[in-house]
Amino acid sequence: MESSTPDYLNPGIPAGLRHVAMPLVQATAQSLDGYGSLLTGDPTQFPVEIVRWPAQGWRPVDTDCGDEGGTTEGIFVSQWKGDLLYGSNEAVGGHYVLGYAVAPEIADEHHTGHPSQILVWHCNYHPDGGQLFFPQEEKPFVVPLALPGDDVKPEDFVCFWFDGSCGLYLHPNIWHDGVFTTHGQQRFFDKQGAVHARVSVNFATEFQCLLSSPLAKPVETPGTRGTLSPSNFA
């Protein structure tokens, strides 16, 4: 059977794909409801949800096992090189092209200009556990997210903008693809389920599109969910 694993460093994206605009909202405790939560304090102490191994038939998995894989942690680096956004995840040994500032067929990584938008070709979710990212530098970043469901569509995604003062915790099964710094390089503490199961969607091949969002801070009107209100944890 042919592997479904994408080639993260050479995704082979076709030219001329349409762009599906994601709503860009400021990350708050309210706007992240259902996806996860904002993180303040010491991220190493935040509990990551681990999902019990699913039963194969009608006999249940014993309640004292199936969720003992624990977590893994390390530094996630998000870095723009010209028009390409690269990611590397020390926790799981991953290295990826996360997105582009321009159409992939004309992207050039040999310049130092600041990107104005992100074009996303891929997302995934982890059925085995949650995941958190906490910025090591107080710089803005964005994270595209969608709620659980394998019938996910490009129009289901929302892009959340963070000012860099708080981190992000994601529940299991939430669609995402790392954290995207708005310019330069940014480091994040990453903690996630050690099994690291991935279920992926490739927008370029499945939907013939790329997801798009500006990288600037969203403009919110008074009374909307854009007012930052960090949550704390014990």
Q: What is the mean pLDDT of residues 155-160?
A: 98
Alpha carbon distance 187, 82 (integer Å): 18
Per-residue model confidence (pLDDT) at position 93:
79
pLDDT, mean over the chain: 90
Residues in Cβ contact with 75 at an 8 Å cutoff, skipping those fewer than 6 apart: 90, 91, 136, 187, 188, 189, 190
| Tens-place pLDDT, residues 25-75 | 999 999 999 999 999 999 999 999 999 999 999 999 999 999 998 999 999
Assigned domain for 82 exists: yes
Assigned domain for 80 exists: yes
Per-residue model confidence (pLDDT) at position 228:
32
Assigned domain for 234 exists: no
CATH no. for residue 168? Answer: 2.60.120.480
Provide the 10 A C-beta neighbour count for residue 4. 9
Assigned domain for 105 exists: yes
Q: How far is CA 69 from CA 14, 26, 132, in A?
A: 38, 34, 17
| Tens-place pLDDT, residues 7-21 | 877 888 999 999 999
Find where tokens 């599906």 sit: 20
Q: How far is CA 123 from CA 62, 109, 131, 206, in A?
A: 32, 22, 14, 12
- The b/e string for 98-134 (b: 16+ C-beta within 10 A; e otherwise) is bbbbeebeebeeeeeeebebbbbbbbebbebbbbbbb
Provide the 10 A C-beta neighbour count for residue 42. 10
Per-residue model confidence (pLDDT) at position 232:
34
Task: State the residue range of the domain holding 100.
Answer: 18-44+70-142+151-214
pTM of the model: 0.90
| Tens-place pLDDT, residues 120-151 | 999 999 999 999 999 999 999 999 999 999 99
Q: Per the structure, how many domains does the chain have?
A: 1
Assigned domain for 122 exists: yes
Instruction: At 162, list the tokens.
Output: 């963070």
Q: What is the mean pLDDT of residues 69-90?
A: 94
* 191 pLDDT higher than 50: yes
Assigned domain for 10 exists: no
Alpha carbon distance 35, 174 (integer Å): 6
Assigned domain for 229 exists: no
> pLDDT-derived band of residue 220, with 50, 70 and 90 as boundaries?
low
Q: Are strands 180-181 and 141-145 parallel, antiparallel or unpaired?
A: antiparallel
Alpha carbon distance 182, 94 (integer Å): 20
Assigned domain for 109 exists: yes
Alpha carbon distance 152, 145 (integer Å): 11
Provide the 10 A C-beta neighbour count for residue 10. 8
